[in-house]
Amino acid sequence: MQDPLLKLHLFDAVVRPSLLYGVEVRGPNSLGRKVSAPRGVYNEFLQCTLGVRATSSLAVIMGELGCYSLEIVAWPQLARFWNRLVDMGDDRLVKQAFTESVRLAGLNTRAPWAAHMAAAMGVDLLTEGPALVTVAGGVAAAREAYLATLGGRTSPSKPS
């Protein structure tokens, strides 16, 4: 198979769901680490698809293929999970664990899950409490955070 766009489409349909499995529980920081298994698989696939060296700039590779980092791709999944938790009834065990994580975040104890999620989504738990987030706004915020990690370099763009 020689067509890079077909390879990318197949990867997105078959492999990416496995890479993002459980990202809601692991949190957004699990994808943002320099060395994470999902990120490594994704980056290596992109490099092999274009046949470039491992030292090639990922921003350029993603721009060439018209794709985004896993952090940005995972955002809608994270936002939907957060919103389900916020709207869930207080009698559910998952909601009780979420509420406890939010409480611990307010105590500034060892950064619980809710604190990491809220920071990634731009929710201020101390003043707003757990609030619903918009998926579109979150993708833009995730994209900006990703661009900040690139140090002002050109961002990958999605072809029209």
Ramachandran angles phi, psi of 16, nearest 5°: -55, -40
Question: Tell me: the pLDDT tens digits for 8-25?
Answer: 999 999 999 998 998 888
Of 103 and 146, more confident:
103
CA-to-CA dists, residue 80 to 23, 75, 104, angstroms = 12, 9, 22
- How far is it, in rounded angstroms, from Cα 138 to Cα 144? 10
Residue ranges per structural domain of the chain: 4-70, 76-135
- How far is it, in rounded angstroms, from Cα 117 to Cα 46? 27
- The answer, yes or no, to whether residue 151 has pLDDT greater than 70, is no
Whether 35 and 106 have beta carbons less than 8 Å apart is answered as: no
Question: Tell me: the pLDDT tens digits for 17-48?
Answer: 998 998 888 877 776 665 578 888 999 999 99
